[in-house]
Structure 1
Amino acid sequence: MRFLSSADLACHPQMAMVILLLLLPLVPLAAAQAWPFCGDSGVYESDSTYEANLELLSTTLPKKAASSTNLFATDTVGIVPNVIFALALCRGDSNASACEGCLVTAFQDGQEHCANNKDAAVYYDSNPCMLRFSNQNFLATNVNDNILVVPSMEMPLITWTRADFSRILFFTLLNSTAESAADSPRWFTTSRLDISSFPTLYCLMQCTPDLTADDCMACLQPYSQYTLKYMDGQKGGQILGTRCSMRYEIYPFFQGETMLRISNLASEVPAINNTLPPVTVYPHLPVSQATIQEYQGRNSRRKVLRIIAIAAPLLSIFLCFICCIVWMTRRRKGTDILHDQAAMNRLEEDAFVSRLEDKSLEFTLFEFSEILHATHNFSKENLLGQGGFGPVYKGQLPDGVEIAVKRLASHSGQGFTEFKNEVELIAKLQHNNLVKLTGCCIEGEEKLLVYEYLPNKSLDFFIFDVSRTTLVDWNKRCVIIEGIAQGLLYLHKHSRLRIIHRDLKASNILLDQGMNPKISDFGLAKIFSSNDTQGSTKRVVGTYGYMAPEYASEGIYSIKSDVFSFGVLLLEILSGQRNSGFHQHEDFLNLLGYSWQLWEGGRCFELLEASIAKEIHAAEARRYINIALMCVQEHADDRPTMSNVVAMLNSESVILPEPKHPAYFSLRVSKVDESGNNDLTVCSNNEVTITEEPDGR
C-alpha cells in the first residue's frame, strides 16, 4: 500500500476535493462553548504534587468513563493534602470515542478557564460530557451543586398572553421526562411532546448512574421550577449540575430515536417557588434558524454551503492525512486488543464458576432468577443501603432464610479480581466475628455476593448519630471493641491463612441481633504465607482516615496496617466522632491530633462521647485511649500486635507503656458531611484511592 503524498494531492485537485469531503465528518463544525464553574476551595502551585495528580487524572479518567457501560466514572487520586476527587459523565446518546475526546478537552478547558483552581466544573453547549474535579470530597454526597441555567433563545415560544398554557406545556414535558429518567436503567431519557397547534418540544434528562432512582428524581424535581422561573416561554434551554442535567429544544438535538412520547397535558401546575437555591444564569445562547434546519434536515443546500465555508481554511488537513491513517490503524488494533481482553475475562469468569461448581464449599452458587425473586426484582423497598461498590438489598429465600445481597455496580471500581478474592476468601473463614458469605451469583454483567442478613445495620449507623448513640451504651461498646479485636486476631494469627483486611472501618463492622460485631467486606484483603510479615503494592486502595501512613505513602502493608485502622476505629467508638473530617472548636485537626493533645495535656477524659462519659471510670477510659493511641503510632514497629491488644483489653493489671505520637497528628483535613453514611446498612460510600499501575506484590 502506498500512501498519498502532498505532491500527489497538489497534482490531482479533483482527488484532493474528494478526500476533503470524506474527511469533513471527522472535523467539528464549530468549537463547542465551554461553561466553567470555578470553586473557591483554594489554588495549587505550578509544578506541585496537586498539578501532577491532576495530570495523572486527566489521562486515566476519560478512558475509564469511555470504557464504562454508562459512560460514567469517578476516581480519587493522591493523598491529603493533594487528594483530588473527580466525576465524569458523558451524555447517554454519545459513543465511547466521543466521550473520551470530550473529557480530554474538558480537563484542558477546566485548567484554562479556572487556572490553578483546585475545584472546577466544566459544561458544554453541545459537547456530550461534563467534568468536575475538586480537593473536597463531593463524591461522598448526592448534592447537586454548581447549577447553571442557560436559555437558548431570546424569542419566546409562546406569547405572554398565553403564559398559563406555556407553564402547563413545560411542566408536563419536564415532569414526565424526569419520572422516565428516574425509572430508566441508565438514568437517561429523551422525550417528545406533541400538542396540536404548537411546535413539538424535545427534551433530554440524565442523572449520574451512582444515584438511586429516588435520588435521581429528587435531583431533577427542582428543574421544572427553575425552567418556569428563568426560561418560561423560551424556545430552548439547559440546566446543568454536578449530579443531573436537562435540556429542551424545538428540534431533535439528540442522537437516536425518542425514548418517550408525551401527548397528555398536566391538569395543574404549581406556582413558581421563589425560595429556590440560587443558580448561575448565563446570557441567552443564540441558536440560528439555520441550525434548527440542519438538525431537522430541511435545508440541505445551506448545510453544504456552510460545510464548505468552514472547511476552506482547513485544507492543511491534507498534510495530516498519513497521520489519520496511522491513527485509525492503531485504533483498530487497540479495539482488537480490548476484544481479546474481554474474551480473556469471560474465560476467567467461566473457569471460576466451574471451580465453584466442582468444589463442595459451604456456600451456594445462586441463579440470577433466584436472587431476583428473593429481592422482589431489587425493589426500592428492599434497598438496605448504597455503598461505594454498589447497592445492598434485603432478600428472603424460599425456605424463609433472610439474606443481604450486594449487587456490584459496573462503575464501582470493584472488578472481578476483588469479587473473586472475596468469594474464595470468606468461604474459608469461620469465626463468630466475621460476616458469613452464604453464596454468590455470576451471570453476564451481574456479579452478586449473598451474605447472612444482620438486622442491626453497621456500627457507623449508631456511633456517629447523636439520636442513636444511647442505643450502644458502654457495656455494648466494650463487647463490640472486644469482638472486632478477636476477629482481627483470627485473621492475623488463627485462621488457616494469614489475612490483612486493608479496609477496616466503622461501616464495615456489621451488628447482629445481639449487637455482636462482624467484620465484613473482604474485597481488598491480602493473603500472606506464614513466613511473610509484610508486602507492598503500587495500587493503594482503602479509605482515607483509616490508612496507615506507610501504606498510604509507600504502599507497604502488614498486620500492623490493620492494627492502625483498629486504633482509629477505637478512638471513633470512644468519641462518637469521625476521624475523617473531624473538627473541634476552631482547630481543624483530625481526631488523632485532638486525642493526642488531650492525652499530653492530661485531659483524655474529655475525648469520651457524652452518653458514655457518665458510665465509664476514669482509669478505664485512660486505659482504652492508651491502647488506641498505641495502635495509631506513626512507626509500624511501635504498634502492638492484635494478640497484645486482646491481652491489654482483657486485663486491667497489665501496665501499659506510654504511646508515642500518632501518625497525621498535626494534619489538617476538610470537614465532610457526617450524615452521608448514617443510613447505610451493609456498605457505605468508600473514599478510595486507586491508581492504574499493576499490583506489585
Structure 2
Amino acid sequence: MGTQLNVRSMCFGFLLSLSFSCFTYTQQTPIYQGSYCQNTTQESLTTAYRTNLERILSWMSSDAATSKGYNYTSIGNNTTVYGLYNCRGDVVGYFCQFCVSNAAREVPQHCPNRVSAIVWYDFCILRYSNENFFGKILTYPTWHAVGTKNISNKEETKKGEDFMRSLIRKATVETNKLYYMDGFNLSFTQERYGFVQCSRDLTNDGCRECLEAMLAEVPKLYEQKLGWSIWSGTCMIKYDDYMFYLPNNQTSSIPESNPETDGIRLSSFHKIQTEETYLNTDLPIIPLITVLQSTNNFSEASKLGEGGFGSVYKGILPDGRQIAVKRLSKFSGQGSEEFNNEVMSIAKLQHRNLVRLFACCLEENEKILVYEYMPNASLYSHLFDDEKRKQLDWKLRLSIINGIARGLLYLHEDSRLRVIHRDLKASNVLLDHDMNPKISDFGLARAFEIGQYQANTKRVMGTYGYMAPEYAMQGLFSVKSDVFSFGVLVLETICARKNNGFYLSEHGQTLLLYAWRTWCEGKCLELMDPMLEKSFKACEVEKCIHIALLCVQENATYRPTMSDVVMMLGSDNMTLPKPKHPAFSVGRKVSEEVPKSKRSKNLCSTDVTISITLPSLLFCSAAKEILLSAP
C-alpha cells in the first residue's frame, strides 16, 4: 500500500476539485496540495544543473499560456534537466499558466536542493528530474483521499467500478485524450461523477495500465465509501456524488430528461472577505484582470442587461468559454448584502436547472460574480415578445415548466441546504443553448436549518405579482412562498401575459382570478396563448392550469410541495385535488391612466411597500360568482 497522506493537505492531488483560495487579496495563488521530492536527503546542486533547472522552470511558466494544457522538454547536455507540466484536463489557457507559474516558482521551496521533484496544485502537476522519465509509468508511491459518506447500496461498488472502467476506456481508446470526465444516474434521485487522467507523456496503453492499477486499489481501501480518489505521479482517478470538475465541450452523458441532484461539495473550506464580514464558501476566485480582458473592460458592447444592483456583461475566457459577468454597482448600498447572500447560497448548489456560478472576484472594491453564459437570455424575453414567443410551442413550454419545477424541488428538498429563492419570476429563468430553463439570481435566497420550515422578515423583498400574500403582508416565507411564485409563472407561461398589471387589460382582473374564473366555468383553455393553437394538447394545458391554481391558493397550507408538483406534472392519471380560491392581488396599485410608455418593461427586485388591490376580483363558489371590490 502506498503512502497515505493527510486528506486535508492533499485532498485530490493534481486533479483536485474546482477551487482557488478565496481570500481577498490582489495576488491570488493556486492551492498547494503536496509534493514528492523523491530524494530523501538534500544535496548540493551543481551550478550547471541549477542553471538548467531555472531555465526549464521558466520555460514551463511561459509555455503553459499557449499550450493545450501540458508539455515536456529537456534542457542541457551533460547536466540535463527533464521537465514536464500537466494541467487538469478541464483547465487550459490562463488558469493552466497561472497554476504552472506558481508551481514553478514554489517547487524549490517544497523540494529544496533536490535533483528530482513532483509537486501538485489544485489545477496542475509539475515534475522535473535529472533522469529521463518521459513516457514511464509511476504507480508507486500512491496517495489516497476518502470522503465521509458510506454507500447506501452495496451494488453501487460494482456500478461505480464499472463506470470508472468506462471512463478509462474513453480516455485511452475512444478519445485518446488520456483524460475523461462524466456522470451517470445511480438512481432516479442520485447521481455519481468520475474523472480519470494521466500525465500526457504516456502512451494510451501506459495510461490504461496506470489507471487500472489505481482502480485496483479501490476494493482494498474504500469499498464501502462513497467518495474517493487515488493517484500516483502519472495518473489519477476520482469518484464522488457531486460534479467536481469544470464542464467543457465534452458534455455529460446524463440524459436531459432525468432530474439533476448534483450538489457541489468542494474539498476546501475558505473565506471571502468583504467590507462587512467574512463569508465561508467553497467558491473559486478569478483575478480581476481576467474579468476585464474577457469583457473588454466592461464595454457597452459586452453588456447584456441592467439589474437591480448592477450590470451583467458577456465575457469570453482565454480558453474560449463564454461567461456572464454580474458586476455589483459600487453605488448600491443594498447590493452588498445580496451579493454576500448569493455567494453563500449558490456556491453550495449545483443542478442542471440552476445557473452555474463559476467564480467570484473581490479585487479593488469590485464585487463580481461569474456565471455560465445563457445564449437564449431569459424566459421573460421570449414570453412577452410577439416574435420570440413563436419559438415557444407547447412542447417546449411544458419542458420549461417541468425544468423549473425540478430546479425548485432540488432547492427545497434535494440540496444540502433547504433554499427558499424568494424571487422566482420569468426574468430570473434563463434559457441555455437547447432552451433548457435554469433558475438564476439568488440575491434574495435564504437557506433554512434542518427542521426549519418557515421564517419571518421585516424587510420584505421580491417582485410585484409573484409574491405570496403571507410574505407580502406578514413577512412570512417558506417553501410554499416559492410554490406560489411557481404557480404564477406557470400561468404566465401558458398565456404569455404578465400577472403584474393584468387587471388593466380587457379582462379587468388579475391573471390569477381570470384563470380561476375560466377554470370554474370549464373554459380554462381560453387562458391559453393563441400561438399555441397548432401545438397544444388540451389535457396537458388543463392539467398545468389546474396545478398552477393549486400553487396560488391563498392559504399556504393548501398549496402542494414541489415534490407533489413534480409528481403531478409527471403523471397522466393522477387525480388532482380541487383548488381553493387564489390569493388576492398583492403589489402596487397602478392607475390605468399611466401611459404604457412610462411603465417599466422589466420587473426588478426591490423593497416592497405593500398595498392590497382588489380590482373586480372574481371568485366562484359552487355555481355562483362573488364579486369583491376594494375601497
TM-score, normalised via structure 2 length: 0.50
Distance between the aligned counterparts of 2:451 and 2:605, measured in 1? Answer: 32
Cα deviation code 1:107-166 (max 9, x no counterpart): xxxxxxxxxxxxxxxxxxxxxxxxxxxxxxxxxxxxxxxxxxxxxxxxxxxxxxxxxxxx
What is residue 194 of structure 1 aligned with on the other side?
A: none
Compute the displacement of 1:601 (Å): 2.1
Q: 1:589 aligns with which of 492, 509, 519?
A: 509
What is residue 385 of structure 2 aligned with on the other side?
A: 465
Sequence identity percentage:
53
Cα deviation code 1:452-487 (max 9, x no counterpart): 111000000101111111111111111110000000
Compute the displacement of 1:669 (Å): 5.0
Residue 455 of structure 2 contacts residue 477 of structure 2 at CA under 8 Å; is this kept in 1? yes
CA RMSD of aligned residues (A): 2.5
Q: 2:524 aligns with which of 600, 604, 607?
A: 604
Distance between the aligned counterparts of 1:669 and 1:596, measured in 2? Answer: 22
Residue 574 of structure 1 contacts residue 609 of structure 1 at CA under 8 Å; is this kept in 2? yes
Q: 2:605 aligns with which of 674, 682, 686?
A: 686
Cα deviation code 1:165-215 (max 9, x no counterpart): xxxxxxxxxxxxxxxxxxxxxxxxxxxxxxxxxxxxxxxxxxxxxxxxxxx
What is residue 626 of structure 1 aligned with on the other side?
A: 546
Alignment of 1:638-677 (within 5 A): 638-664=558-584, 669-670=590-591, 673=596
Distance between the aligned counterparts of 1:503 and 1:350, measured in 2? Answer: 24
Distance between the aligned counterparts of 1:666 and 1:555, measured in 2? Answer: 13
Q: 1:376 aligns with which of 296, 319, 334?
A: 296
Q: What secondary structure does 1:621 align onto?
A: helix
Q: What secondary structure does 1:425 align onto?
A: helix
Distance between the aligned counterparts of 1:552 and 1:485, measured in 2? Answer: 22
- Structure with larger RCO (C-alpha < 8 A, sep 6+): 1
Structure 1 residue 450 corresponds to structure 2 residue 370: yes
Q: 1:398 aligns with which of 290, 307, 318?
A: 318
Structure 1 residue 417 corresponds to structure 2 residue 417: no
Compute the displacement of 1:396 (Å): 0.8
Compute the displacement of 1:527 (Å): 0.7
Call closer, same or farther: CA 1:648–1:529 in 2, change over 3 Å.
same
Call closer, same or farther: CA 1:526–1:463 in 2, change over 3 Å.
same
Distance between the aligned counterparts of 2:383 and 2:415, measured in 1? Answer: 29
State the aligned residue count. Answer: 336
Distance between the aligned counterparts of 2:533 and 2:526, measured in 1? Answer: 8
TM-score, normalised via structure 1 length: 0.46
Residue 461 of structure 2 contacts residue 606 of structure 2 at CA under 8 Å; is this kept in 1? no
Distance between the aligned counterparts of 1:403 and 1:517, measured in 2? Answer: 17
Q: 1:564 aligns with which of 484, 504, 516?
A: 484
What is residue 624 of structure 2 aligned with on the other side?
A: none
Distance between the aligned counterparts of 1:670 and 1:650, measured in 2? Answer: 41
Compute the displacement of 1:445 (Å): 3.1
Q: 1:617 aligns with which of 524, 532, 537?
A: 537
Counterpart code for 2:375: P
Compute the displacement of 1:533 (Å): 1.1
Structure 1 residue 579 corresponds to structure 2 residue 499: yes
Counterpart code for 1:399: D
Q: What secondary structure does 1:433 align onto?
A: coil
Q: 1:551 aligns with which of 464, 471, 486?
A: 471
Residue 393 of structure 2 contacts residue 536 of structure 2 at CA under 8 Å; is this kept in 1? no
Compute the displacement of 1:599 (Å): 1.5
What is residue 530 of structure 1 aligned with on the other side?
A: 450
Counterpart code for 2:451: N
Compute the displacement of 1:414 (Å): 3.6
Q: 1:426 aligns with which of 341, 346, 366?
A: 346
Call closer, same or farther: CA 1:524–1:445 in 2, change over 3 Å.
same
What is residue 114 of structure 2 aligned with on the other side?
A: none
Unaligned residue ranges in structure 2 (runs of 5+): 1-271, 611-631
Call closer, same or farther: CA 1:347–1:384 in 2, change over 3 Å.
closer
Structure 1 residue 502 corresponds to structure 2 residue 428: no
Q: What secondary structure does 2:339 align onto?
A: helix
Compute the displacement of 1:420 (Å): 1.5
Residue 471 of structure 2 contacts residue 481 of structure 2 at CA under 8 Å; is this kept in 1? yes
Counterpart code for 2:608: T
Call closer, same or farther: CA 1:551–1:685 in 2, change over 3 Å.
closer
Q: 2:328 aligns with which of 408, 417, 420?
A: 408
Call closer, same or farther: CA 1:569–1:430 in 2, change over 3 Å.
same
Residue 353 of structure 2 contacts residue 438 of structure 2 at CA under 8 Å; is this kept in 1? yes
Structure 1 residue 388 corresponds to structure 2 residue 308: yes
Call closer, same or farther: CA 1:531–1:546 in 2, change over 3 Å.
same
Q: 2:278 aligns with which of 352, 363, 386?
A: 352
Counterpart code for 1:579: N
Compute the displacement of 1:629 (Å): 0.5
Farther-moved stretch of structure 1 (600-609 vs 617-626): 617-626
Distance between the aligned counterparts of 1:456 and 1:675, measured in 2? Answer: 27
Compute the displacement of 1:349 (Å): 3.6
Alignment of 1:308-387 (within 5 A): 348-349=274-275, 352=278, 361=282, 363-387=283-307
Compute the displacement of 1:590 (Å): 1.6
Residue 386 of structure 1 contacts residue 685 of structure 1 at CA under 8 Å; is this kept in 2? no
Counterpart code for 2:428: N
What is residue 100 of structure 1 aligned with on the other side?
A: none
Compute the displacement of 1:443 (Å): 2.4
Cα deviation code 1:226-262 (max 9, x no counterpart): xxxxxxxxxxxxxxxxxxxxxxxxxxxxxxxxxxxxx
Call closer, same or farther: CA 1:348–1:392 in 2, change over 3 Å.
closer
Compute the displacement of 1:416 (Å): 2.1
Compute the displacement of 1:572 (Å): 0.2
Compute the displacement of 1:593 (Å): 1.5
Q: What secondary structure does 2:362 align onto?
A: strand
Residue 489 of structure 1 contacts residue 643 of structure 1 at CA under 8 Å; is this kept in 2? yes
Counterpart code for 1:655: T
Structure 1 residue 438 corresponds to structure 2 residue 361: no
Distance between the aligned counterparts of 1:580 and 1:411, measured in 2? Answer: 28
Residue 383 of structure 1 contacts residue 393 of structure 1 at CA under 8 Å; is this kept in 2? yes
Call closer, same or farther: CA 1:561–1:386 in 2, change over 3 Å.
same
Call closer, same or farther: CA 1:428–1:347 in 2, change over 3 Å.
closer
